[in-house]
Amino acid sequence: MPITYRHDLRPPAEEIVKLYDASPLFRPTRDVERIRRMYDGSNVVLTAWDDHRLVGILRGWTDFAYDGYVCDLAVHPDYQKQGIGRELLRRVTDHYGTQVQWVLRASKIAVDYYKHIGWEPIENGWCWRREG
């Protein structure tokens, strides 16, 4: 069965936690309410499904005119290396138009992945660290 991509469905936080833990995407998965708030505050959520199973997710923010930020990209290990992450990124950049510049911060385990699929590194970034 082919993978189905959706931009109109936000999975329950418990399903997102399962995917994050499996992928592994290091997020505060022991705090399901915090995961729920992360998604409630995001205006970009794209998902990938194998029938009714959540196998990939992209979460981000955009102003729809100039800037966008990809916060999370996770693909279940059983589905990695099948182009799902690449397709989620392609869909976010295509769906929101060419006037939006998208940036992201790669997890340590995915640093080389983004270059491999055509994203360019940036050097002019700054960070204010969260406490938890």
Query: Tell me, what amino acid is at 4?
Result: T
Q: Which of 55, 100, 62, 95 is nearest to 78 (CA)?
A: 55
37-58 pLDDT tens trace: 999 999 999 999 999 999 999 9
Across the range 59-71, mean pLDDT stands at 94
Residue 116: pLDDT over 90: no
Cis peptide before 24 (omega within 30 of 0): yes
Provide the pLDDT for residue 20: 94
Please answer whether residues 39 and 16 qualify as being in contact, where contact means their C-beta atoms are separated by less than 8 angstroms: yes
User: Is the backbone of residue 31 left (phi > 0), alpha (psi -120 to 50) or beta?
Assistant: beta
Q: Which of 36, 47, 44 is nearest to 14 (CA)?
A: 36
CA distance 106 to 29: 18
Q: What are the phi and psi torsion angles at 50 (to 5°)?
A: -110, 100
83-99 pLDDT tens trace: 999 999 999 999 877 88
Going from the N-terminus, what domains does the chain have, and what CATH number goes with each?
4-116 (3.40.630.30)
Provide the pLDDT for residue 48: 98
